[in-house]
């Protein structure tokens, strides 16, 4: 039993070391590209804008790690392509199908979902999407209801415990001397 636990810990340590090495490698590659491109790499603000726009239009990058290595101009070109303002193909491969659209929709906040629907389905929602949307809204509504009832119960228990702690032991027992 102890031997199995030790083997399991060793495997966990190996996995952790691999993750650390991968992160270090990614940083080295990024620094290498910085050396070649200097200030031309995409900055964080533009990268976040590209990622958000991909979601809002139902696209997904085939290799999302490549987004970090875009140049600023490639990032701007990608934004223009996604929004339909450019016919030039982007420098990275992006896809949009029912699966990527639904995945993007689930990740968005409620106000962003309205914008998504306007961007992707300007006229009418397709049946497959409307049925999935209805199910998602139902489950979210149930989860909110459960959360509210849980919060009410917790606040009631808290109030009850405060009122009990304010009474003395004699008052709790009902004795009056």
**Using CA of residue 101, residue 106, residue 109, residue 110, what is the dihedral sign?**
positive
Burial class (CB within 10 angstroms; exposed 0-12, middle 13-18, buried 19+) of 132: middle
pTM above 0.75, yes or no: no
Domain boundaries, the chain: 14-96
User: Which pLDDT score is estimated for 169?
Assistant: 55
pLDDT in tens, 23-80: 888 777 766 665 555 557 788 899 999 999 999 999 999 988 888 888 888 899 999 9
Tell me the β-bridge partners of 61: 94
**DSSP letter (8 states) at residue 71:** B
Question: CA 69, CA 168: separation in Å to the nearest integer?
Answer: 67
Task: Give the three-state DSSP class for 92.
Answer: coil
Q: Is the pLDDT of residue 176 over 60?
A: no
DSSP 69: G
Average confidence score pLDDT of the chain: 85
């Amino acid at each position: 039993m102890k031997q199995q636990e030790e083997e399991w810990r060793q495997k966990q340590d190996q996995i952790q070391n691999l993750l650390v090495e991968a992160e270090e490698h990614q940083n080295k590659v990024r620094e290498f590209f910085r050396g070649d491109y200097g200030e031309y790499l995409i900055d964080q603000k533009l990268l976040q804008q590209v990622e958000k726009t991909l979601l809002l239009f139902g696209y997904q990058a085939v290799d999302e790690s490549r987004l970090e290595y875009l140049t600023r101009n490639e990032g701007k070109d990608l934004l223009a392509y996604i929004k339909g303002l450019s016919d030039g193909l982007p420098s990275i491969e992006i896809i949009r199908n029912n699966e990527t659209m639904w995945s993007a929709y689930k990740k968005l906040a409620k106000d962003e979902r309205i914008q998504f629907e306007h961007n992707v389905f300007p006229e009418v929602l397709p049946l497959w999407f409307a049925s999935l949307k209805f199910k998602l809204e139902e489950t979210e509504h149930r989860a909110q209801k459960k959360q509210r009832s849980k919060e009410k119960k917790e606040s009631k228990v808290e109030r009850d415990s405060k009122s009990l702690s304010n009474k003395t032991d004699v008052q709790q027992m009902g004795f009056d001397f």
